Amino acid sequence: MKKLIYILSLSCFFGFSQDQVNLEESSVKWTGVQLSGKTHYGTLAFESADLSFSEDQLVGGNFVVNMTSLSVDDLTGRGKKSLEGHLKADDFFSVSDFNFSELKLNNVDMVSENEYSAEGDLTIKGRTHKAKVSFYTEEGSKNLKARLVFDRSKYNVRYGSGSFFENLGDKLILDDIELEVTLVMM
């Protein structure tokens, strides 16, 4: 906790920006689940990550994810390549038309010395909706972790969604996608 307070104190003087976030080591892990319980997961890479501080508190941020980096990590070989292609196609994330997704934090509240609750605008496939994010740091680490769950149907990600199609049975893919983020600070 003392380390977080020290980092936050330094940040108000120097200000964190993408120069202080190691983009190559930072990560976004996504998880999607079918009604049957079958789960797929993978990663995305940051294009940029900026954090804003005022006095010793996180007050905002802007994060851009490169959608062309979308990978599937629970499969290998042909299955991996096939699912990655499908997720990048128009019935999922339309990556050829929408290379980037973005989260802009607007309201940030300090919950405890090592935890923040934030609201922001999440843009996927050119559509923007409100999103809630929780940030925290683990004892002895200066890295920030975050968790965000978004409803893919709000962003016109239709494939296998019960919000758009009926009678999908166990082929139904849940609309909620979970993102677990690790921001590695330099």
Is the pLDDT confidence value at 4 over 60? no
Residue type at 74 in one-letter notation: D
Is the pLDDT confidence value at 13 over 60? no
Per domain, the residue ranges of the chain are: 2-183
Residues 6+ apart with CB under 8 A from 82: none
Task: List phi, psi (to 5°) of 91.
Answer: -80, -5
> 123 versus 51: which is more confidently predicted?
123
Which superfamily is assigned to 2-183 in CATH? Lipid/polyisoprenoid-binding, YceI-like (2.40.128.110)
Encode pLDDT of 130-181 as tens digits.
999 999 988 888 899 999 999 999 999 988 786 788 877 777 788 999 999 9
List, in sequence order, the alpha helices (H) in the chain: 2-14, 77-88
Encode pLDDT of 62-115 as tens digits.
999 999 999 999 999 999 999 999 999 998 999 999 999 999 999 999 999 889
Task: List phi, psi (to 5°) of 9.
Answer: -65, -40
